[in-house]
A and B are shown apart, each in its own frame.
Chain A
Amino acid sequence: MKKYFKVFPILMLSVVLVLSACGNSSGEANYPDENVELIAPATPGGGWDATARALQNVLDEEGFVEQNINVENQPGGGGEVGWQYLSDQNSHSLSVNSSLILTNNLLGQSDLTYEDFTPIATLATEWISTAVPSDSDIEDGIDMLDRLKEDPKSLTIAVGPALGNNDHLSFVRVADEYGVDVSELEFMIYESGGDVLTALMGGHADVATMSISESLEQHQSGDIEILATTADEPIEGAEDIPTWQELGVDFTFPHWRGIMGPPDMTEEEVAYWDETFSQMVETEAWQTVLENNGWQDYYMNSEESREFLEEQNQMYEDLVETAGLTD
């Protein structure tokens, strides 16, 4: 009988054991008194997964949380599956979130909204860039907007991976602020940010909108040219790129990431996380995570996050209507 077991390839995975070590510490009577589950509403390898695993690492290594923190992947429906799951967990489950918690509902793709959860913190943001191929005859951001104002179909705009995401909506916002007829814009939706970049570099799209972290290096190497960013102040290390505000279009547009918990968390529990996260964002380990991922610090505590979400929800509600994404 034994020989059959030799064929189970997974057996050999035990070599991994040598490499993986897990820390275990004894529990306390206070909250959290069991393992904390950190939900990444996405498959391993994506942005949300990266955020969750980075948090797990920092919180674990710096010893902020006595209990184990486990990352739980619940992908599907642009976060919907994971958040649906979070809504019936106890206070030992938290989830990573982003503006999709607002837009899923506004676009009619989910019944859940930010009010169904307990805001814990807003942690980081990326800013969004508008770029053109390096040999483009578009001179600057204002020139681009002028052309679109004249004829909204004159330029093709690459965006990925889905309509209604921040890259798309931020472009709609700037065009709308400038008085372009945004319902006529010609967006090309590519499967990923990488594909958007390829299309732009190959000259298959006239303009592209994407996170700065995806476009900055190609800008610096001269393969593409970033016209403007949605940031509130010039990006560190790329001060030559103007913000839209500097170009005279008055708005900023963060692509933020945060943490939220299930509904009905007690004040003590929220206070615990406020203290934990306010300390965590000060650590060197977290700063390294921000730097590696091209994120900026955007920390807000639970109370500030609640207000922020309300304000953002209003903004997105107007925006998806302008973009023609609602009925």
Chain B
Amino acid sequence: MGVDWNSFFEGFMTALSFQNLLFIFLGGLLGTIVGMLPGLGPATAVAVLIPITFGMDSTSALILLGAIYYGAMYGGSRSSILLNTPGDGSAIAATFDGYPMTRKGQAGQALTLATLASLIGGTVAIAGFVFLANPLASFALQFGPAEYFFLLIFTLSAVVSLSKGNMIKGFVSMLLGLIVTTIGVDSQSGVYRFTFGNPHLSEGIDFLVVIIGVYAVGEVLYNILVIKDENQQMKEDVGNSWITKEQWSRSFWPMIRQAPIGFLVGILPGAGGSIASMISYTTEQQVSKKGEEFGKGAPEGLASPESSNNAASVGAFIPLLTMGIPGSGTTAVILGALIMLGLQPGPMLFQNQPEVAWTFINSLFIGNIVLVIINILLIGLLVRILKTPPQILYPIILVLAFIGTYTLGYSIIDFFILMIFGVIGLLMKILNIPVAPLILAVIIGNMMEQNFRMAFVSHDGFLQMLTASPISILFAVLTVASVFLPALFSRLSKGRTES
């Protein structure tokens, strides 16, 4: 499309109009709030708020939906950091170091850092969008089933390799997750697997129910077990929200370099924020000199996935706006809403209605800044959650977990699944079994199987699938490296200290 600067600036001015600024603010605020609730991630946030846009003009509606989506992305990490209960798949990586920071009394700083990381990730990605949308869209098209399969298996192996010295437990956790994803109708053959005749199970188990169960319910049960003194508070000191120089300088480069990675992953239809943030977290841990601090409250361990998943959320708009292809659940919902409003995103959008497209892109940029303001202002309010006595907070989280689960499938069968995974989450926490491989496996397991089988059929074999394209080979090599290199390195360094 080339950058049409006239339309670009026109769009910038339209996005800055009072009415649209109001929508950005309102959407961002609503999205942040809904995104914080367990189970209500960006897709649900947009879906349940769609009725608000009926009767609005299409540009404003698009801006409002974009702002809600964005707000939910910001909001998702809030509950990860404060309560160790991610609202959505892409907010899981924020629990790894965000929650330890809270435990260390740095809740305010963690929230500020995550907000700034999101801003940087988002801004880098928007710049990428403006200049590179079209070439990147055709890059995404290179990904067929074989390429997806190797990308997905690389992500899984990278996350399993995080469980250092504990690889067996990591693999067990991953395999249990993969088992969960085989429940439901198998799309390639139409065979019903492990559904026991229940129609609700035929669509499989929603990964969000698993996330809420393992994290929110598991966390609540664990805390009930360890509540000691009736008057003890979870953390008296929530710290201030000004980040230190050291935190900033440790996080700065990770934020900058993880943004393009997240952006690229986000462009791939179907990949999205969960995979982007996991890849960023693991790569950052590998390259960091302070890798051993990851998982114990390292600021860069929070900043890099947050930067990356926000960049991914911008990237997801590229296939939607340039090709009319929704690349994620959320963009699919937005596409549905836009069609109802009479706007058809797709190859013709930039030709027929460039002002709409550019207004939207600019509103994403402005939205980022507005959201930083909203979120910094909200920090004071949010850290109060930690001052609520845990004896009152945990029952409320538990009830919210149930409500959130209900909104996902409108079925009480999910309540049983929620409880089962709550108990599993509790046991995993007690036994020190890593949770991330299970969760990631549940998110991408089915996609991995289906892509593998499609690739196998269309390439007539595994070797042909591997050598089908350089992308496949690259990810296959990375997969092998991610499993064996950490072991090799630790062996080498051990050898050195011993000799």
Contact = CB atoms under 8 A, between A and B. Distances in A.
Given A81-B411, A194-B332, 10 more contacts: A13-B30, A76-B203, A77-B202, A78-B203, A80-B202, A84-B199, A163-B189, A189-B454, A197-B324, A288-B342
B270 A204 contact: no
Given A15-B30, A44-B47, A292-B341, A202 B144 contact: yes
Q: Closest 8 interchain pairs by CB?
A: A77-B199, A204-B144, A202-B141, A221-B347, A45-B333, A44-B47, A163-B190, A45-B47
Interface in B200-244: 200, 202-203
Interface in B272-290: none
Contacts of A107: 190
A54 B384 CA distance: 42
A195 B270 contact: yes
A164 interface: yes
B200 A81 contact: yes
Interface string B331-361: 0110111011110101110000000000000
Interface string A8-51: 01101101100110000000000000000000000111110010
Given A45-B50, A78-B202, A221-B348, A188 B324 contact: no
B51 A223 contact: no
Q: Is the interface of B mostly helix, strand, loop or mixed?
A: helix
A45 B336 contact: yes
B409 interface: yes
A255 B492 CA distance: 63
B199 A50 contact: no
Which among B141, B202, B337, B339 has the highest number of chain A CB atoms within 10 Å? B141
Interface residues of A, number: 66
Contact of B340 (A54, A162, A195): A54
Interface in B247-291: 269-270
Interface in B351-387: 381-382, 384-385
Interface string A96-109: 00000000000101
B86 interface: no
B48 interface: yes
6 contacts: A3-B384, A7-B385, A53-B340, A75-B409, A198-B141, A199-B144
Given A199-B144, A202-B142, A288-B342, A45 B332 contact: yes
Interface of A: 3-4, 6-7, 9-10, 12-13, 15-16, 19-20, 43-47, 50, 53-54, 57, 73-78, 80-81, 84, 107, 109-110, 156, 161-164, 186, 188-192, 194-195, 197-199, 201-205, 217-218, 220-221, 223, 288-289, 291-294, 325
A319 to B, nearest CB: 14
A274 B250 CA distance: 69
Contacts of A186: 457-458
B323 interface: yes
A288 B58 CA distance: 14
B31 to A, nearest CB: 11
Interface in B388-434: 388, 392, 408-411
B52 interface: yes
A109 B199 CA distance: 8
A293 B319 contact: no
B188 interface: yes
B336 A109 contact: no
Contact of B36 (A9, A75, A194): A9
B447 interface: yes
Interface in B436-458: 447, 450, 454, 457-458
Contacts of B339: 50, 292-294
B11 interface: no
Nearest to A83: B199
Contacts of A204: 144-145, 458
Nearest to B144: A204
B341 A220 contact: no
A161 B332 CA distance: 14
B269 A163 contact: no
B315 interface: no
